[in-house]
Structure 1
Amino acid sequence: MTPDGTTPLPPSTEYATTHLATALRLAAADVPVLPLREGKVPFGNCPTCAHSACGGRPNMKHPGPCQCLSVCHGWAAATTDPDVLTSAPWAAAWRQAAALAYYPGGAGLTVLDLDDAAAVAWAREHLPPTRIVDTTRGQHWLYLGPMRSANAVRPGVDIKSHMAYARWRGPGHGTMAPLPDSVRALAGREEATAPRGVASSAGARAAWDRSVATGCRHTERYVRTGLERGIALVHEHPESGAGSQAFQVARFFAKQHTDCPGPCGLDALAEDVVSAAVAVGVPEPYARRAVTNGLTLTAPSAA
């Protein structure tokens, strides 16, 4: 029986897609996995968890009360439990899955995502050889050992490990090497800029509603539609660019609310955009800087 009391779906059923079969093999090797929907991005949160109302899964950076059985919260939904992978709440996701992802940090790995030929050439010159997985535009270099994730550590290079997911593109070729200090140093550069967070943290905050936006001139439907579209745009950049997209979404919010008497609850909207960026692999400090800079670029009189 699965945790929700339903009967697991065996691999022989119609739900056992190629992605699920691969997921079960990876899970048996202690690699946490999750399905990706169309666009190669994580499935959106279920209604109970929409807009981070549940507080987030317990294994996310900001612990919450969520015990959701669905494929919620991006990378944090990844699991090695075959009962969960074949459970009824996950069945619809497998039927719609367009790709498979895994959680490198949970498997004790770091993925160096090299987005183009120039990035690959740089890695060959400066980094120790390791297992390589070819991608559509470049390569993934896999190292033994986890670390924090960081985007855009140099042109065309992202690091995916803790609090991030990587698309499964096959086992690759070559022998996996231990994580070198030279890769850890790349993330250190990004950490050198102190983050300037928005007012409230993702762990304890008020969701956007009229109680935090008493001076907003827009309708609730208008604001929520803009938020949903903005989050969708961020989710469309799982490989790279999610941080930049989060900046653009925040800048849009700031411009739309410039003429409002305020307050407009932009801090609550910002937290949802930060959460969306983190869900597709952007390190939280980086996501917060991007969103805060977008809001302050053309900041309205009332946030």
Structure 2
Amino acid sequence: MNAANGLLRTALRLAAAGVPVLPLRAGKLPFGNCPACARSACGDRPNMKNAGPCQCPAPCHAWAAATTDPRVLASPAWVPVWHEAVAVAYHPGGAGLTVVDLDNAAAVEWARETLPATRTVPTTRGEHWIYRGTMPSSNAVRPGVDIKSTMQYVRWLGPGAGRMAVLPAAVRALVEKEDTTPAPGEVASSLPARPTWGRSVATGCCHTERYVRTGLERGLALVRARTESGAGSQAFGVARFLAAQHTACPGPCGLAAIGEEIVAAAVSVGVPEPYARRAVANGLETAVERAV
């Protein structure tokens, strides 16, 4: 009884703060649908991917049942469920949030090296990094990393620590889809020749031309080596790394010209130009965000 009351109190407190919540049963799983909602017989809830008319008073449909309404949370249909619940979960997308779920120490180390600092919550095996803003959810975007935002739920493990940052481009880029292998019989696309980096576009750069060109050529070689897959992601990483070298320069440093060369390298191995441009732009933007 006390445990159930404690979970309900937590749920009500979160709901009052505008965070949609739901109960979880053993195994960190939502409660199953009632017979009327089983196998989508009810037509599903209005806020699901397949929007329907379901108005079931019970906590059916997992994340879609999450609510901020205290009358629902303490209703006759929900109270018995709280007695069986073992945890509280929340719908991050419904609260305007995105959670980067880091499932092990290696994933946490990657995040610390790659992503802007934000509010973090310790988990059993890793950490949750919480950002302001929503995006599509996706599992296994890289080893040990899941993105949970819209149409997903996250177990509530406490408020965490740190100032919550705005959802960065680097996280959005993790769920971008790319096709880096041209279809059989087709030739990889290419871009018209564009001016390369030089002092004419980098009048405020602190580095020598040899330093910049050496780093750029090494980065372009990494992108061109990804002939089967991953060239778009590699282009993002190269753009982010190279831009980070110029954060202390008074500028301009000609980053747009550097970006064009990276885009051309990605396109040369089959990355669609729109994707290549997004990846490179996100990489350049992320370097600036991390320097601020």
**TM-score strictly above 0.5:** yes
What TM bracket, shorter-length normalisation? 0.5 to 0.7
Distance 1:64 1:48 in 2: 14
Residue type matched to 1:180 in 2?
P
Compute the TM-score of the two structures, normalised by the length of structure 1: 0.58
3-state DSSP of counterpart to 1:88: coil
Equivalent residue number for residue 9 of structure 2: 21
The answer on whether the counterparts of 1:110 and 1:161 sit within 8 Å (CA) in structure 2 is yes
Residue type matched to 2:124 in 1?
T
Distance 1:159 1:113 in 2: 6
Residue type matched to 2:91 in 1?
Y
What stretches of structure 2 of length at least 5 have no aligned partner?
Answer: 182-292
TM-superposed CA distance for 1:106, in Å, is 0.3
TM-superposed CA distance for 1:15, in Å, is 8.7
Equivalent position to 2:79, from 82, 87, 91? 91
Distance 1:81 1:180 in 2: 30
1:191–1:100 CA distance, 2 compared to 1 (3 A): farther
State yes or no: 1:52 paired with 2:37: no
The answer on whether the counterparts of 2:4 and 2:85 sit within 8 Å (CA) in structure 1 is no
TM-superposed CA distance for 1:39, in Å, is 1.1
Equivalent residue number for residue 67 of structure 2: 79
State yes or no: 1:157 paired with 2:145: yes
Residue type matched to 1:109 in 2?
L
TM-superposed CA distance for 1:64, in Å, is 1.2
Distance 1:131 1:166 in 2: 15
Equivalent residue number for residue 41 of structure 1: 29
Alpha-carbon displacement from aligned partner over 1:261-302 (angstroms, at most 9, x marks no partner): xxxxxxxxxxxxxxxxxxxxxxxxxxxxxxxxxxxxxxxxxx
The size of the alignment, in residue pairs, is: 181
Distance 1:132 1:84 in 2: 29
The answer on whether the counterparts of 1:148 and 1:162 sit within 8 Å (CA) in structure 2 is yes
What stretches of structure 1 of length at least 5 have no aligned partner?
Answer: 1-12, 194-303
State yes or no: 1:127 paired with 2:111: no
TM-superposed CA distance for 1:14, in Å, is 6.9
Residue type matched to 2:173 in 1?
A
Equivalent position to 1:31, from 15, 19, 33? 19
Distance 1:40 1:113 in 2: 15
The answer on whether the counterparts of 1:34 and 1:100 sit within 8 Å (CA) in structure 2 is yes
1:38–1:173 CA distance, 2 compared to 1 (3 A): same
TM-superposed CA distance for 1:94, in Å, is 0.3
TM-superposed CA distance for 1:189, in Å, is 3.5
Distance 2:180 2:14 in 1: 36
Equivalent residue number for residue 102 of structure 1: 90
1:169–1:29 CA distance, 2 compared to 1 (3 A): same
CA RMSD of aligned residues (A): 1.9
Equivalent position to 2:157, from 150, 169, 185? 169
TM-superposed CA distance for 1:191, in Å, is 9.6
TM-superposed CA distance for 1:40, in Å, is 1.1
Q: Which runs of 4+ in 1 moved over 2 A?
A: 13-16, 189-193
Larger radius of gyration: 2
Residue type matched to 2:7 in 1?
H
Compute the TM-score of the two structures, normalised by the length of structure 2: 0.60
